[in-house]
Structure 1
């Protein structure tokens, strides 16, 4: 496939054609709006779109955002993805100059997943961040294989390796092959809740018993409390650092 990969540059219609690639409940994190509502206006150079030149259709996108961070890169914040977005929004409001870039999302069109596009988009993101003058890219990685091992603790999952020494998780493996280094776990990377009725509408599950609920597409069980009429999802991610 002959790809044109470049910053979004106003190609909103093509970009919007890639919506809908996530489970509904994953779109309910209230922090995400601080980035996704404004990325095209505030951070367009950090958002990449891949278009198949033969068809003119979008096949993948990659979101990243510059932030200010002076802490140790060997111990990135527990609050992961939500922290990145809050930091980016606050930096923008206060005029603070960014020092590093964080990845937020790489999304491949569903019919093309498993074709190697994720590695191509990650490489394009690395190149773009370096071109913009930054030497460090961090990523609160959502390990793709964890959905099949939903009850395993994230700390043990993050350390699993294959016989060749590469991570057992497919998405972590792509990052390491690209030059990334697994740093630490962000145990509370995304945190959000809703009423039981909301969770039923998001997942199609009954949410009628107090305790952990295994939701398809989740990395860990959702905490359900029937007496309080709410359920809370606390998603862990795994920090990866790319030195560019």
Structure 2
């Protein structure tokens, strides 16, 4: 593959979704976060210079990976892990609010680096992360943070996120492969947030998103979810509160 990477500003007409929609790696329920609707509708229009799309030079109109980040204003020290407790959701609404009130951003947060399932394991995610780091530095920022969604945490949904983030191999690198990509790129794990994304819904909605019965109150293990979904049959309601691991990249 003759890989090329361009910003949305450079290729505004190019779609970031993959030709084969079945290659999208995210569980269906991940698209139902209320804050995600703001993200989906806003990020390309508001911050096109912060979005990256990768494509093969032989097929220049077909995305093979995408990476998005947004700037926002923040008073805390990212190197000390002083970052939003509401993670992914918090970064998105803060970025939108800052733009509305004219607040100048001083920090950039990654929101998504997505590689289709048929290209995972090829090193493409690391290339997209490197391109994101370079682009954020080009835009004049000294720091990039990321509320990382560990890609193997769903296999141990009952393990606390702090414990999972601390797991390392014999060489001292994170056991989780996506966290490992960040650390190899120069990032440093600086903390966790237990409320990075909140997805509420009625039981019928959760049944449609997952195919599971949701007929008993209590925790429900959902494939692809990092922690169990909390279900209340009595109130016809279930909520998923996803954690994340904060990584800081000094550029």
Under TM normalisation by the shorter chain, which class is it? Answer: over 0.9
Given candidates 80, 86, 93, the residue that maps to 2:87 is: 80
Do the aligned partners of 2:84 and 2:91 also contact (CA within 8 Å) in 1? no
3-state SS of 1:185 partner: strand
* Cα deviation digits, residues 96-134 of structure 1 (max 9, x gap): 111010000000022101111010000000000000110
| Structure 1 equivalent of residue 15 of structure 2 | 14
- Alignment match of 2:68 (pick from 60, 63, 67): 63
Number of residue equivalences: 244
1:62-98 residue CA offsets vs partner (Å, 9 max, x unmatched)? 0100111111212212211111001001001001111
Aligned residue in 1 for 2:42: 38
SS at match of 2:152: helix
Paired position in structure 1 for 2:28 = 24
Where do 5+ consecutive residues of structure 1 fail to align? none
- Deviation, 1:54, is 2.3
- 2:178 is equivalent to residue 171 of structure 1: yes
Conserved 8 A contact 1:194-1:231 = yes
Matched, 1:124 2:131: yes
Q: Is residue 2:198 matched to residue 1:197?
A: no
For 1:27 and 1:35, how far apart are their aligned partners in 2? 10
- Once the two structures are overlaid, the 10-residue window that deviates more, 11-20 or 196-205, is 11-20
Alignment partners' CA distance in 2, 1:53 and 1:159 = 40
SS at 2:99 equivalent: helix
1:149 matches 2:150: no
Does the 8 Å contact 2:18/2:116 carry over to 1? Answer: no
Equivalent residues in 2 for 1:89-104 (5 A)? Answer: 89-104=96-111
Q: Which runs of 4+ in 1 moved over 6 A?
A: none
1:224 to partner: Cα distance: 0.5
Gaps of 5+ in 2: none
SS in 2 for 1:114: coil
TM-score, reference length from structure 2: 0.94
